Amino acid sequence: MMRLYNVFMNKVWSFCYNLILSLWIGGISIFTFIVTPAVFRSFERDMAGRIVGKLFPGYFIYNLALSALALALLIMIRSFLTSKAFKFSLVLIICAIIINLFVAFKLHPDINRIKQEIHSFETPADDSPLRKQFGRLHAVSATLNLLLLADGITLLVFSSVMKKQ
């Protein structure tokens, strides 16, 4: 009876893990490919930047919470995965947590500080040092965001195909 319970709970935790990974992938995809472009199509550049800037803190907390939940659930389903899949997934999730912490508490505040100094992106001073610095940090942020998306997709694939038989 206890074995049956353990098998059932492993399946429940495995389902929850896959659900968290799906929310991770879906959240990043919707924000990156639907919400942000729609905001920038609908408003002038400065206003769109302010709107998206207001959404970012919640987005970063969402991503951080999901990666932390994924870590907890991965530990709970450890016996369900092959050793290689567990170790690889563990590394990917820890990397995601580190990236999310960096983006939320270092990179995004730096970007906000520079945005406040620029005042407006409507004026054509594209070659100013602040604009260049903003562009570099924005590129890093966008790259890390896509890396987190790829990380989540990889985790979901591994979860699906690398289970013990």
pLDDT number for residue 82: 83
Residues linked to residue 81 through DSSP beta bridges, in sequence order? 163
Q: Cα–Cα distance between 87 and 19 in angstroms, integer? A: 20
165 Cα distance to chain centroid: 30
Tens digit of pLDDT for each residue in 44-100? 999 999 999 999 999 999 999 999 999 999 999 988 788 888 999 999 999 999 999
Which tokens sit at 13? 């935790």
Give me the amino acid identity at 66.
L
Can you give the pTM of this predicted structure?
A: 0.91
Question: Any idea which of 125-129, 134-138, 141-145, 153-157 has the lowest mean pLDDT?
Answer: 125-129
What token pair was written down for 33?
A: 């490919």
Alpha-carbon distances of 106 from 33, 99, 112, 156, rounded to whole Å: 24, 10, 10, 28
pLDDT of residue 153: 98
User: How does the average pLDDT of the chain come out, rounded?
Assistant: 92
In which domain, by residue range, is 119 found?
2-161
| Mean pLDDT (whole number) for 26-45 | 97
In this prediction, residue 163 carries a pLDDT of: 66
The count of domains in the chain is: 1
Whole-angstrom distance, CA of residue 123 vs CA of residue 161: 51
Q: Which ranges of the chain would DSSP assign to H, the alpha helix? A: 2-30, 36-42, 45-76, 83-102, 108-118, 129-161
Residue 52, exposed/middle/buried by CB under 10 A (0-12, 13-18, 19+)? middle
